[in-house]
Structure 1
Amino acid sequence: MANVALIGSTGMVGSHILTSLLSNDGVHRIDTISRRTPQAATAAPQTKLTTFVSDDTSKWGAQLSALTPTPEIFMSAFATTRANAGGFENQHKIEHGLNVELARAARDAGTKVYVLISSQGANKTSNIPYSRMKGEIEEDVKALGFERTVILRPGLISGTREESRPLEAGIRYIAGWAGKLHSSLKDGWAQEADVIGKAAVNAGLKALRGDIPDGSEKVWTIEGKSIIALANES
């Protein structure tokens, strides 16, 4: 059974990752590090969940390094927005900086598998700042040399966010409508948050067992319909 650490557990996808981890019999212990208490931790007592809550993100690396037992899997669904960060420069500093810092702390502690929730179109040479930032995060964590790195690149993430994003909400409505007509109209470009969460957990556990596709021994990238297929595996 695996010990798992997770950052981003209060976000749209991260909350579903946590729910999936809690219900998975292959997971022994879960440690979350976050700015606020995850909803799953307040809903009911969880014997295998330990939470560390601090607004001071400079403490997160030390907390991750001190976890005992050392997590075999470290998962990141951590992200912020340009608006919340106060501009793209700050968004890059927070999202890129913290993701890479925490990944390095996990690697140095002996974590074997790293799972990252990235984004469709991530590319460090992209002209689109957001896609470039996501690509830079991917490349920098791959360079850390985990035994296995798993990268999920969902398209539009369907579901309900706590914060209001009117334009995105409109596109999510279109995705939901298309999915009701036929899954093939949606699955390639939009995936439900709970599906992404389950796929991330399944991928992390499979990677830990070495049950990965040929050619993905070090880095396994999962996109579009492959995310949905992975979520449906028992």
Structure 2
Amino acid sequence: MAVARVALVAGATGLVGREVIAALLAAENVPGTASLDGPPIHILHAAGRRAPAALARNVVVHAVDFSALPSLPPVDDVYIALGTTMAAAGGQNAFRAIDYSAVLATAQAARRAGATRCGVVSAMGADPQSRIFYSRIKGEMERDLQALGFSTLVIARPSVLAGNRQPLHQTPRRGESLSLALLQWLRPLIPANYRAVAARDVAHALVHAVRHGPSGVQVLSGRALQSG
């Protein structure tokens, strides 16, 4: 029987992070969503923002300031699904503070708490040398995570994420519904790496790769993130 591992999740109120929690609960073969027991799942949540709904007794929410993270309880695996858009952030500095600084701070805190395996949600086109600011920040984040010494680092690079944002109380992203509808219609003609991918599929692929994949750095994109 596999040894239960303690997980840390940052970004649990987002589209993929919510599904990471569900995938972790399912991975422990725990039925239902109320009064559940299992290895602890610690959630880092930005203080002052809407907290994630209670999912199980073993899910512990920590309200934190990502720019000054406290010492964390012992953890084995960390999943980071933090991210925003340029429009929501309001500028490049604010965007970098979330998609780079908060991600790296979480990973560093997790390493100090004993984490040896990490899964992170990045984006297609991530490249530290890119002239596109968004892709460059994602690439710098990936590069610097690799320097932290995780025995396993899984990087998910989805293209357009599909999922229901209404339960998350997120502001609809301009043009997203139209883009998703168009991408779905054109799906047979679009190369796998550019197809819209369900947030649930990204989360399940990420959790499975962290828990069962080989050591070293793995990059998941295209078909590796799609259920069918």
Q: State the shift of 1:57 in Å.
A: 2.9
Q: What is the CA–CA distance in structure 2 between the aligned matches of 1:133 and 1:139, rounded to whole Å? A: 10
Distance 1:186 1:29, change over 3 A: farther
Q: Give unpaired runs (5+ residues) of structure 2.
A: 30-37
1:126 aligns with one of 116, 130, 141: 130
- Give the superposition deviation at 1:158: 1.3
Partner residue, 1:175 = 183
Matched, 1:160 2:158: no
Q: Secondary structure at the match of 1:194?
A: helix
- Normalising by structure 2, we get a TM-score of 0.84
**Whole-Å separation in 1 of the counterparts to 2:141 and 2:201:** 23
Cα separation, 1, equivalents of 2:51 and 2:14: 11
How many residues align structurally?
209
Deviations 1:161-193 (A, max 9, x none): 3321122221111223345xx5x7574322111
CA–CA separation in structure 1 for the residues paired with 2:156 and 2:40: 22
Question: Deviations along 1:14-37, whole A, 9 cap, x unmatched?
Answer: 111111112221772211011332
Q: Which amino acid aligns with 2:85?
A: T
- Give the percent of matched residue pairs that are identical in Structure 1 and Structure 2: 29
Match of 2:82 among 78, 81, 92: 78
Match of 1:48 in 2: 58
**Larger % of helix: which?**
1
Unaligned runs of 5+ in 1: none
Amino acid in structure 1 at the alignment position of 2:219? T
Shift of 1:153: 0.6
Displacement of 1:122: 0.2
Q: Deviations over 1:90-112 (max 9, x none)?
A: 21123211111111111122211
2:209 corresponds to 1:198:
no
Residues 1-234 of structure 1 mapped to structure 2, 5 A cutoff = 1-25=4-28, 28-35=39-46, 36-39=50-53, 41=54, 46-54=56-64, 56-59=65-68, 61-62=69-70, 65-67=71-73, 70-161=74-165, 162-179=170-187, 182=188, 185=190, 187-189=192-194, 190-207=196-213, 212=214, 217-228=215-226
1:34-74 CA-partner distances (Å, limit 9, x unpaired): 133213x1xx5x122111134x3345x21xx331xx21100
